[in-house]
């Protein structure tokens, strides 16, 4: 499958590398390719600058948001939640039309320091805003409730005995994301469909608890399990 990943942070890199490993033709998108490739900024996952990451992942070309979105049959939003609408506008509404748009973003606003506040919550979510702004895209919220390494390697935590959530209005899109990527590609055993896109509110509002759990545990390698 052709996949366009929007976002060059650790999530965009982790998911792009995994998609490529699974045989998907993947492009990773950024605002300005030349600036991103010249950037000396390094990510916390130890993959270095984007140029260094690209050297180690030559099968994933770095493209503009628009080129990556145009390339993708499936598009994945891994941009900063406070900037996701801007990033998707740069990707171009026409390049998202009719496509499954996986949204892994969180509405974390670090402008007043740590801990961040939620830029959208209670009666709204980033996912809903994306679905509203791009009505022809088939938005599926998922993966935002775990750290990047856990997204693509759930078995690294408790043998995979924990829960991933999905939310979205399009049942077929949710099934494709669940079967092809979550269960099929990444190995998630327990995927819970929370319902329509409004359910993304709870998934995004979980983030303050996730941050506390990470601080207390000292590692992003954890998740929650829904037990009945």
Ligand X SMILES: NC(=O)c1ccc[n+]([C@@H]2O[C@H](COP(=O)([O-])OP(=O)(O)OC[C@H]3O[C@@H](n4cnc5c(N)ncnc54)[C@H](OP(=O)(O)O)[C@@H]3O)[C@@H](O)[C@H]2O)c1
Site residues (CB under 6 A) for ligand X? 7-12, 30-31, 36, 78-81, 83, 86-87, 104-106, 108, 144, 147-148, 220
Any idea what DSSP says for residue 166? E
Q: Which is nearer to ligand X, 79 or 178 (CB)?
A: 79
| Distance in Å, CB of 205 to ligand X, minimum | 13
| Distance in Å, CB of 207 to ligand X, minimum | 8
DSSP labels for 12-64?
HHHHHHHHHHTT-EEEEEES-HHHHHH-----TTS--SHHHHHHH-TTS-EEE
Are 16 and 26 in contact by the 8 Å Cβ rule? The answer is yes
DSSP labels for 109-161?
E-TT-SSPEESS-SS--HHHHHHHH-TTSEEEEESTTS-HHHHH-GGGTGGG-
In the bound complex, which residue of the shown chain has the CB atom lying closest to ligand X?
Answer: 9
Q: Which residues contact 228 (CB under 8 A, 6 or more apart)?
A: none
Q: Which is nearer to ligand X, 81 or 168 (CB)?
A: 81
Are 102 and 167 in contact by the 8 Å Cβ rule? The answer is no
Q: Which is nearer to ligand X, 171 or 219 (CB)?
A: 219
| Distance in Å, CB of 228 to ligand X, minimum | 25
The helix/strand/coil state of 80 is coil
Q: Which is nearer to ligand X, 55 or 86 (CB)?
A: 86
| Distance in Å, CB of 131 to ligand X, minimum | 16
Q: Which is nearer to ligand X, 79 or 223 (CB)?
A: 79
| Distance in Å, CB of 35 to ligand X, minimum | 7
């Amino acid at each position: 499958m052709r996949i366009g990943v929007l976002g060059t942070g650790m999530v965009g890199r982790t998911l792009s590398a995994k998609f490529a490993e699974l045989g998907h033709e993947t492009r990773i998108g950024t605002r300005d390719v030349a600036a991103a490739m010249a950037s000396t900024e390094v990510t916390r996952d130890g993959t270095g600058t984007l140029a260094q990451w690209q050297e180690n992942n030559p099968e994933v070309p770095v493209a503009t948001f628009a080129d990556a979105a145009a390339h993708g049959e499936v598009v994945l939003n891994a941009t900063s939640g406070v900037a996701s609408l801007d990033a998707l506008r740069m990707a171009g509404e026409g390049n998202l039309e009719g496509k499954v748009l996986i949204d892994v973003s969180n509405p974390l606003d670090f402008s007043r320091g740590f801990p961040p506040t939620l830029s959208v919550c209670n009666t709204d979510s980033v996912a809903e805003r994306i679905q509203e702004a791009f009505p022809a895209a088939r938005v599926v919220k998922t993966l935002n409730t775990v750290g990047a390494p856990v997204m693509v390697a759930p078995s690294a935590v408790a043998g995979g005995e924990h829960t991933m959530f999905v939310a979205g209005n399009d049942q077929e899109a949710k099934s494709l994301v669940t079967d092809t990527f979550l269960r099929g590609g990444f190995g998630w055993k327990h995927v819970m469909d929370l319902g329509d896109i409004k359910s993304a509110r709870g998934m995004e509002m979980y983030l303050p608890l996730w941050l506390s759990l990470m601080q207390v545990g000292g590692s992003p390698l954890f998740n929650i399990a829904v037990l009945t």
